[in-house]
C-alpha cells in the first residue's frame, strides 16, 4: 500500500464522516461543522497529492489548499451570518418544518 | 485586442461592484449601468474574433498556468456569455424599480448583483478545474445572499438549504479536482483528459464531480433545494437563478463530459444521466401541474426543463449538442421572462395563488402577455426559441434512433402545455362580478411600468430567438466539442 493511498483512504474516511454528519445533523450549526470536516478531508487529499512528487512538495497543490482554506473560511462566515439572521427571524436553529408561510 | 476585451467582461462588473459599495447612493445606478454595459463591446470583439476561427486564450497578468489563471473563450463559452449579458440587462432594468437604490434592500442588492454577473462571466471563461470551482462557489454564495436579501423567513430557510447543499456539492467537486490533479498533474480543462488515465481514482473523481454538479444543477432526484429557493426568492433573483445560475453547473458538466472525460468509455453512465433527465422532465412537469402558487409552478417548470439538457449525454452527437445549447439559451430567456412576469403579478395581486389570477388579463395585460409568450417558448410551440431547440433535439434523437428520448421530449412538451395553459386560462378567465374589485388601470403600477416591460422584452426575445436562430447556431457550432465533431 503506497503512502499516497493511505492519505487518500484517510481523506475518504473523514470526507464520508462529514457527509454523514451533514445528512444526520438537525441543528444547522452542526451541519456547518460537518461541512468544515469535509473541507479538511479535501485539504488532506490535496496535501497528499502535493507531497508525493520526488523533487519535493508541489507548490500548485499547496496553492490550491491555501485558496481552498480562504474560500472555506469565507463561506463558513457567510453561512454563520445567515444562520444568525435565520435564528433571529424564525427563532429556530433547524430547517425542518413546512415552508408555507401563507403569503 | 480580443484578449483584453475578455478581461473587461469580468473586471467591469467586478470593479463596479466594489465602487457601488464605496460610492454614495446616487452613484449606484450609473456605476451599475457601466458595469453591466461594458461587457457588450467586449463580447462583441471576442465574438468577432471567434467567428474568424480563433480561440481566445488569456493568461491573466502574464502568469502562465498552472500557478496563473487562464481564460479561454470558444463558441460555447461565448454563447452562454451572451445569454448572461442579455438576461442580466433586462433583469437589471426590472431591478431598478424592484430593488430601488433608495431602499435598504436595494443598497444591499446592487453590489451582490454585480458580483454575481462578474462571477458568471468568469466561470464561462475559466479554463481550469480549480478556477471553475472558485467561480462556481462565488456564483452560489452571491445567489444565496440574494435569495435571503428580503429577510422573509421562508426565503431564508430556502437560502440556507441551498447554501448547505451547494457547499456540499462544491466539496464533492473540489475533492474530485484534487484527485484528478494527482492523476493528471495538471488542472487545465483541455489537458486533464488525455493525462488522467482511466484508473480507479480517476473514475472515482469523475463520479464525485458529476454528483456534485448534479446537485448544483438540481437534476432529479437531487432537485429538492430548487423549488423553494427559486420560488421564494425576490422576482429578479428568481429570474437570474433559473435562467443562469442553475445552467452554470450544467455548463461545467458538459465541459467535463465532452472535453475532460472524452477519452473514457462513458456510455453506461451517459445512459444513466439521460434517464435522470427523463425523470426530471416527467417529475418536474407533473409537480408543476400540481402547484397552487404561480412562482412555485414556474420553479418546478425549471426542474423539468433542465432535464432536457441531460439528454445530451446519451445522444452524444453534434446535433444534440447544438440542440441542447440552444435549449439553454431559449429556456434562459423564456424562464427569466416568466419569473419576472410572475413576480409582477405577485406584487400587484399581493398573492401568487393561482385562483387569484382570474381576470388578471384585464388589469395586468402586459404581464399576462409576457407570461403567455414565454410559455409558448417553454412549451416549444413555433415560432419560438423553445420550438427550435426542441425540434433540433427531436431530430437528434430521431437520427440516433433513440425512440425513448423522442417520446420523452414530446411528452415533456405536452405536460408543459398543461401547466402553462392552466395559468393562461385562469388569467384570461372572466371574473365573477364579486371577484373583480379593481378596474383596469387602477393597479398600483401603471400598465407599461418598467417592470412589466422588462418581462415583456424578454418574452418577445424568447420568440424572436426562434425566428433569428441562424447567427446563434453559427456561434454554437464554433464551440462544438472536438470529441463530437469526429464521426
Q: How far apart are CA B266 and CA B279, in angstroms?
A: 20
Residue A8 main-chain phi, psi, to 5 deg: -65, -40
Q: How far apart are CA B378 and CA B416, in angstroms?
A: 7
Q: How far apart are CA B279 and CA B405, in angstroms?
A: 11
A103 to chain B: which residues are within 8 Å by CB?
152, 154, 351-352
Please give the pLDDT value at position B446. 62
Residue pLDDT, tens place only, B381-396: 999 999 999 999 999 9
Residue pLDDT, tens place only, B359-379: 888 889 999 999 999 999 999
A residues 25-84 closer than 8 Å to B (CB): 28, 31-32, 35, 38-39, 41-42, 45-46, 48-49, 52, 59-61, 63-64, 67-68, 71, 74-75, 78-79, 82-83
**Nearest residue of A to residue B67 by CA position?**
A60
Do B397 and B315 form a contact (C-beta atoms < 8 A)?
A: yes
Nearest CA to B11 out of B76, B66, B71 is that of: B71
Name the helix (H) or strand (E) containing B235.
helix B235-240
Q: How far is B133 from chain A (nearest CA, A)?
A: 9
Do B357 and B349 form a contact (C-beta atoms < 8 A)?
A: yes
- Region of poorest pLDDT, from A92-96, B24-28, B408-412: A92-96
- Residue B440 confidence class, pLDDT cut points 50, 70, 90: very low
Query: Buried b vs exposed e over B225-255: b needs ≥16 C-beta within 10 Å?
Result: bbbbbbbbbbbbbbbbbbbbbbbbbbbbbbb
Q: Residue A1 above 60 pLDDT?
A: no
Suggest the residue from B131, B160, B351 to mutate for an interface test with chain A (most A CBs closer than 10 A): B160
**Nearest residue of B to residue A97 by CA position?**
B157
Specify the DSSP class assigned to residue B326. Answer: H
Q: Does the beta-carbon distance from A82 to B159 stay under 8 Å? A: yes
**Nearest residue of B to residue A63 by CA position?**
B67
A64 to chain B: which residues are within 8 Å by CB?
130, 177-178, 181
Specify the DSSP class assigned to residue B242. Answer: I
Residue pLDDT, tens place only, B259-271: 999 889 889 999 9
CB within 8 Å of B28: residues ≥ 6 apart: B20, B101, B106, B107, B110
Mean pLDDT, chain B, rounded, equals 92
Q: Residue B278 above 60 pLDDT?
A: yes
Residue B422 CA to its chain's centroid (Å): 24
Candidates B157, B178, B352; nearest CB to A49: B178
Q: How far apart are CA B50 and CA B177, in angstroms?
A: 29
Please give the pLDDT value at position B477. 94
Q: Residue A82 above 70 pLDDT?
A: yes
Q: Where are the domains of chain A?
A: 3-90
CB within 8 Å of B414: residues ≥ 6 apart: none
Exposed/middle/buried for residue A53 (C-beta within 10 Å: 0-12, 13-18, 19+): exposed
Q: How far apart are CA B333 and CA B329, in angstroms?
A: 6
Q: How far apart are CA B105 and CA A25, in angstroms?
A: 32
Grid cell 419576472 in the structure block, residue:
B340
Please give the pLDDT value at position B439. 46
Q: Within a 13 Å sphere around the CA of A80, how many CA atoms are in the beta-carbon half?
A: 8
Residue pLDDT, tens place only, B225-252: 999 999 999 999 999 999 999 999 999 9
Q: How far apart are CA B76 and CA B256, in angstroms?
A: 13
Q: CB distance from A3 to chain B under 8 Å? A: no
Suggest the residue from B167, B192, B232 to mutate for an interface test with chain A (most A CBs closer than 10 A): B167
Query: Buried b vs exposed e over B311-342: b needs ≥16 C-beta within 10 Å?
Result: bbbbbbbbbbbbbbbbbbbbbbbbbbbbbbbb
Query: Would you list the DSSP string of A32-61?
Result: HHHHHHHHHHHHHHHHHHHHT-TTS--HHH
Q: Does the beta-carbon distance from B175 to A52 stay under 8 Å? A: no
Q: Residue B442 above 60 pLDDT?
A: no
Residue pLDDT, tens place only, B456-467: 999 999 999 999
Architecture of A3-90 per CATH? Answer: Orthogonal Bundle (1.10)
Specify the DSSP class assigned to residue B244. Answer: I
Residues counted in chain B:
487
Q: Does the beta-carbon distance from B160 to A61 stay under 8 Å? A: no
For residue B309 the three cell numbers come to 439538457
For residue B152 the three cell numbers come to 422573509
Suggest the residue from A12, A24, A44, A49 to mutate for an interface test with chain B (most B CBs closer than 10 A): A49
Do B226 and B445 form a contact (C-beta atoms < 8 A)?
A: no
Q: Could you check whether the bond before residue B66 is cis, i.e. omega within 30 degrees of 0?
A: yes
Number of helices and strands in chain B (H, E): 23, 2
Do B390 and B380 form a contact (C-beta atoms < 8 A)?
A: yes
Q: Residue A99 above 80 pLDDT?
A: no
Candidates A38, A49, A101; nearest CB to B181: A49
**Nearest residue of B to residue A4 by CA position?**
B182
Grid cell 457588450 in the structure block, residue:
B40
For residue B277 the three cell numbers come to 433527465
**Nearest residue of A to residue B350 by CA position?**
A103
Residue pLDDT, tens place only, B115-128: 999 999 999 999 99
A89 to chain B: which residues are within 8 Å by CB?
151-153, 156
Nearest CA to B303 out of B416, B136, B146, B137 is that of: B416
CB within 8 Å of B330: residues ≥ 6 apart: B377, B384, B385, B386, B388, B389, B462, B465, B466
Residue pLDDT, tens place only, B301-358: 999 999 999 999 999 999 999 999 999 999 999 999 999 999 999 999 989 899 999 9
Please give the pLDDT value at position A101. 46
Q: Residue A43 above 90 pLDDT?
A: yes
Q: CB distance from B151 to chain A under 8 Å? A: yes
Do B329 and B447 form a contact (C-beta atoms < 8 A)?
A: no
Q: Does the beta-carbon distance from A99 to B148 stay under 8 Å? A: no
Amino acid at each position: 500500500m503506497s503512502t499516497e493511498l493511505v492519505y487518500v483512504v484517510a481523506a475518504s474516511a473523514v470526507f464520508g464522516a462529514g457527509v454523514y454528519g451533514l445528512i444526520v445533523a438537525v441543528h444547522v450549526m452542526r451541519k456547518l461543522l460537518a461541512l468544515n470536516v469535509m473541507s479538511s478531508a479535501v485539504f488532506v487529499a490535496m496535501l497528499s497529492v502535493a507531497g508525493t512528487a520526488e523533487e519535493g512538495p508541489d507548490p500548485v497543490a499547496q496553492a490550491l489548499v491555501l485558496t481552498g482554506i480562504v474560500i472555506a473560511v469565507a463561506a463558513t462566515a457567510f453561512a454563520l451570518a445567515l444562520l444568525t439572521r435565520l435564528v433571529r427571524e424564525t427563532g429556530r436553529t433547524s430547517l425542518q418544518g413546512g415552508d408555507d408561510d401563507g403569503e | 485586442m480580443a484578449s483584453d476585451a475578455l478581461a473587461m467582461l469580468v473586471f467591469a462588473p467586478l470593479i463596479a461592484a466594489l465602487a457601488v459599495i464605496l460610492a454614495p447612493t446616487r452613484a449606484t445606478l450609473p456605476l451599475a449601468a457601466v458595469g453591466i454595459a461594458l461587457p457588450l463591446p467586449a463580447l462583441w470583439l471576442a465574438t468577432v474574433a471567434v467567428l474568424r476561427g480563433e480561440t481566445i486564450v488569456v493568461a491573466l497578468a502574464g502568469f502562465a498556468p498552472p500557478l496563473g489563471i487562464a481564460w479561454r473563450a470558444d463558441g460555447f463559452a461565448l454563447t452562454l456569455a451572451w445569454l448572461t449579458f442579455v438576461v442580466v440587462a433586462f433583469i437589471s432594468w426590472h431591478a431598478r424599480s424592484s430593488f430601488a437604490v433608495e431602499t435598504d434592500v436595494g443598497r444591499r442588492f446592487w453590489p451582490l448583483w454585480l458580483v454575481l454577473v462578474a462571477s458568471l462571466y468568469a466561470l464561462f471563461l475559466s479554463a481550469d478545474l480549480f478556477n471553475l470551482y472558485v467561480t462556481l462557489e462565488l456564483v452560489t454564495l452571491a445567489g444565496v445572499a440574494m435569495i435571503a436579501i428580503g429577510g422573509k423567513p421562508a426565503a431564508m430557510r430556502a437560502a440556507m438549504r441551498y447554501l448547505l447543499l451547494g457547499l456540499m456539492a462544491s466539496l464533492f467537486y473540489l475533492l474530485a479536482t484534487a484527485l484528478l490533479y494527482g492523476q493528471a498533474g495538471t488542472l487545465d480543462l483541455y489537458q486533464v483528459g488525455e493525462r488522467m488515465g482511466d484508473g480507479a481514482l480517476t473514475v472515482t473523481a469523475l463520479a464525485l464531480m458529476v454528483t456534485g454538479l448534479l446537485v448544483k444543477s438540481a437534476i432529479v432526484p437531487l432537485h429538492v433545494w430548487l423549488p423553494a429557493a427559486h420560488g421564494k426568492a425576490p422576482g429578479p433573483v428568481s429570474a437570474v437563478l433559473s435562467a443562469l445560475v442553475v445552467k452554470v453547473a450544467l455548463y461545467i458538466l458538459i465541459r467535463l463530459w465532452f472535453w475532460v472525460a472524452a477519452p473514457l468509455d462513458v456510455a453506461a453512465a451517459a445512459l444513466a444521466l439521460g434517464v435522470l433527465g427523463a425523470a426530471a422532465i416527467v417529475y418536474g412537469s407533473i409537480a408543476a401541474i400540481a402547484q397552487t402558487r404561480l412562482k412555485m409552478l414556474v420553479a418546478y417548470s425549471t426542474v423539468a426543463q433542465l432535464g432536457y439538457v441531460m439528454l445530451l449525454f446519451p445522444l452524444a452527437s453534434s446535433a444534440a449538442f447544438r440542440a441542447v445549447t440552444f435549449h439553454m439559451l431559449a429556456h434562459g430567456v423564456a424562464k427569466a421572462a416568466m419569473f419576472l412576469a410572475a413576480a409582477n403579478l405577485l406584487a400587484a395581486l399581493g398573492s401568487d395563488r393561482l385562483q387569484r389570477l382570474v381576470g388578471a388579463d384585464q388589469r395586468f395585460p402586459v404581464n399576462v402577455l409576457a407570461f403567455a409568450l414565454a410559455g409558448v417558448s417553454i412549451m416549444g410551440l413555433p415560432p419560438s426559441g423553445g420550438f427550435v431547440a426542441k425540434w433540433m433535439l427531436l431530430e437528434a434523437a430521431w437520427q440516433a434512433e433513440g425512440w425513448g428520448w423522442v417520446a420523452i421530449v414530446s411528452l415533456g412538451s405536452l405536460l408543459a402545455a398543461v401547466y402553462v395553459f392552466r395559468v393562461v386560462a385562469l388569467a384570461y378567465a372572466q371574473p365573477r362580478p364579486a371577484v373583480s374589485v379593481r378596474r383596469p388601470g387602477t393597479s398600483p403600477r401603471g400598465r407599461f411600468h418598467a417592470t412589466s416591460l422588462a418581462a415583456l422584452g424578454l418574452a418577445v426575445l424568447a420568440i424572436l430567438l426562434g425566428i433569428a436562430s441562424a447567427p446563434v447556431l453559427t456561434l454554437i457550432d464554433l464551440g462544438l466539442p472536438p470529441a463530437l465533431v469526429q464521426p
